[in-house]
Structure 1
Amino acid sequence: MNDILNPSLPESTPAKVPLKPLGKVLAVTSGKGGVGKTFVSANLAAALAKRGQKVLVLDADLGLANLDVVLNLYPKITLHDVFTGKAKLEEAIVRAPGGFSVLLAGSGMVEYSRLTPNVRDDFLRIISGLLPHYDIVLLDTGAGISDVVLFAVSLASEVLVVATPEPTSLTDAYATIKVLVGEQKRRLIRMVINQTARMGDGRAITTQLQQVLDRFVVAKPGENVRLVHMGDIPADPSVRMAVMKRQLLMQSLPGCPAALAISQLAAKLQDTLITKRS
């Protein structure tokens, strides 16, 4: 455990060096807030840990962090303390329920809501130091397309966009994907549709989004962006029960429909992202 919680960090990383997506990093993001992105990140981490993976979730929503609320954790040391030099990285890494590690951000980090060279350096230095010690690092990003969110996503080799069937969520998901293709030259985006009413709804929604992207968004001449439907998470009253109790669904009600769907998502991600990279 000590080697996992005590990674050695590079002294500095120049802010102007062009960034390349880092292996083993999956950004979980969304166009709109309130679609269950943090819920997915936390429970997906628990499902991957159950499958024997060493997982860390980094709360990359520096302004409105709430991973600690979902996990019922009360951290004394946060990412803010690491950024400001008040604490070492290993002191901020917490073991979460579900068998994975978390690096929590402090809410209301106004000074980190803008992408300054210092924020870039700190973010990249920390993630680079974590990578050797985990099979996968999940970045629970903020919603939308702010410069901080886009920078966090740029560090990931893979992107998982969480959306719901609501028109506003899908419109914002489309806008986010369009920006990721235009600014980061993404060729492949993975989708999970949360709170679906019927089996197959998510695949149909992903297909509809793909048709719109094929028509209006081109990765480069002659090449379209490809959406990969990773699964649906059905609307399930068990989710609200777990959230209100601040418990992981994968622990409190592992046999409910939503938990089983997250387990299937974890299996797909392990097969397509982790196993093939190892």
Structure 2
Amino acid sequence: MSDAQSPSSMPSASGPVQQPGKPAGARIIAITSGKGGVGKTFVSANLAAALARRGQRVLVLDADLGLANLDVVLNLHPKITLHDVFTGKATLDEAVIAAPGGFSVVLAGSGMVEYSRLTPEVRNQFLSVIETLTPRYDVILLDTGAGISDVVLFSVSLASEVMIVATPEPTSLTDAYAAIKVLAVQQKRQHVRLIVNQAARPGDGRAITSQLQQVLDRFVSTESGKPVRLLHMGDIPVDPTVREAVMRRQLLLLQTPGCPAALAVSQLAGKVEEALLHRAQ
């Protein structure tokens, strides 16, 4: 995998973008999940705020083209969305807006059935957006849809790194395993990073990562013949203030920065910066 990747080589959903040399621009990180309702968009938004606090130029791109809800989490009411850019009603610059927390966002309208399928037109428009934004930021977080649809896999294919958000619930872990398997087989991913949200006890995430790794070792291998590596990035503990922040449509890092979940997100940002962003420079 290259450290930062540009979409100029026109990828498919079968693999991440490849570009020779070391391209300049943002590190593109996809934040995805096997199933919905695990806090993926919450993680994307608050991680962006935590990275911005650390001096990174951050943009979150709402890549859930059919069921977008990043605007709800951030309490934003955009006049211009990706739909307007795709239909030529507005420019991309007009769609980039400032979010609470010191980062930028490009929001997608929700309920757009025409974007639930990966047509060549949607694919090309999405590529153009990424190509334009990449030189302007240090990191772009792609808040993708959940699952393994062609639109989700295409969004993920644009990223050099993938972080799966899962909860300890069996259904979440089963779907996370399915998503990781697809990423290993179709996109030739050698490793995938895991964030465990709503962890009940310290150490739960590492135990879950170890259990999933054992299943992957047994049933999934990459193109090289080696098992896909699952890298534990951190846990976000069960914390009642998270629900309060979500209900108020406020970033947890702004509302209660000292609560356990906010501190965990801040630690996650430090790990992301150390593992992914410093290495890319």
What secondary structure does 2:212 align onto? helix
Amino acid at match of 2:61: L
Deviation at residue 14 of structure 1 after TM alignment: 6.1
CA contact (8 A) 2:165 2:194 kept: yes
Matches within 5 A, 1:34-49: 34-49=37-52
CA contact (8 A) 1:55 1:135 kept: yes
Provide, for residues 49-105 of structure 1, a one-character-per-residue CA deviation record: whole Å limited to 9, x for no partner. 000000000000011000000000000000000011110000001100000000000
* Counterpart selection for 1:54 from 57, 81, 84: 57
1:276 maps to 2:279? yes
Per the alignment, residue 3 of structure 1 pairs with none
* Counterpart selection for 1:228 from 228, 231, 234: 231
Quick check: 217-226 or 262-271, which moved more?
217-226
Per the alignment, residue 204 of structure 1 pairs with 207
CA contact (8 A) 1:236 1:258 kept: yes
Per the alignment, residue 143 of structure 1 pairs with 146
Per the alignment, residue 175 of structure 2 pairs with 172
What secondary structure does 1:275 align onto? helix
Provide, for residues 227-255 of structure 1, a one-character-per-residue CA deviation record: whole Å limited to 9, x for no partner. 00000000000100100100000000000
1:252 maps to 2:247? no
* Counterpart selection for 2:243 from 216, 240, 243: 240
Per the alignment, residue 127 of structure 1 pairs with 130
Provide, for residues 153-184 of structure 1, a one-character-per-residue CA deviation record: whole Å limited to 9, x for no partner. 00000000000000000000000000001100
Q: Name structure 1 gaps, 5 residues minimum.
A: 1-9
1:159 maps to 2:156? no
> CA separation in 1, counterparts of 2:44 and 2:57?
14
Per the alignment, residue 214 of structure 1 pairs with 217
Q: 1:14 to 1:192 in 2, by over 3 A?
A: closer
Per the alignment, residue 4 of structure 1 pairs with none
1:103 maps to 2:118? no
Q: Name structure 2 gaps, 5 residues minimum.
A: 1-6, 20-25
Per the alignment, residue 22 of structure 2 pairs with none
Per the alignment, residue 20 of structure 1 pairs with 17
Matches within 5 A, 1:4-15: none
- TM-score, normalised to structure 2, is 0.92
1:64 maps to 2:61? no
Deviation at residue 114 of structure 1 after TM alignment: 0.4
Amino acid at match of 2:17: K
> CA separation in 1, counterparts of 2:34 and 2:222?
19
Q: 1:233 to 1:177 in 2, by over 3 A?
A: same
1:189 maps to 2:186? no
What secondary structure does 1:269 align onto? helix
CA contact (8 A) 2:82 2:106 kept: yes
> CA separation in 2, counterparts of 1:265 and 1:213?
24
Give the paired residue count: 268
Percent identity between the aligned chains? 71
Deviation at residue 222 of structure 1 after TM alignment: 3.5
CA contact (8 A) 2:11 2:158 kept: no
What secondary structure does 1:156 align onto? coil
CA contact (8 A) 2:10 2:127 kept: no
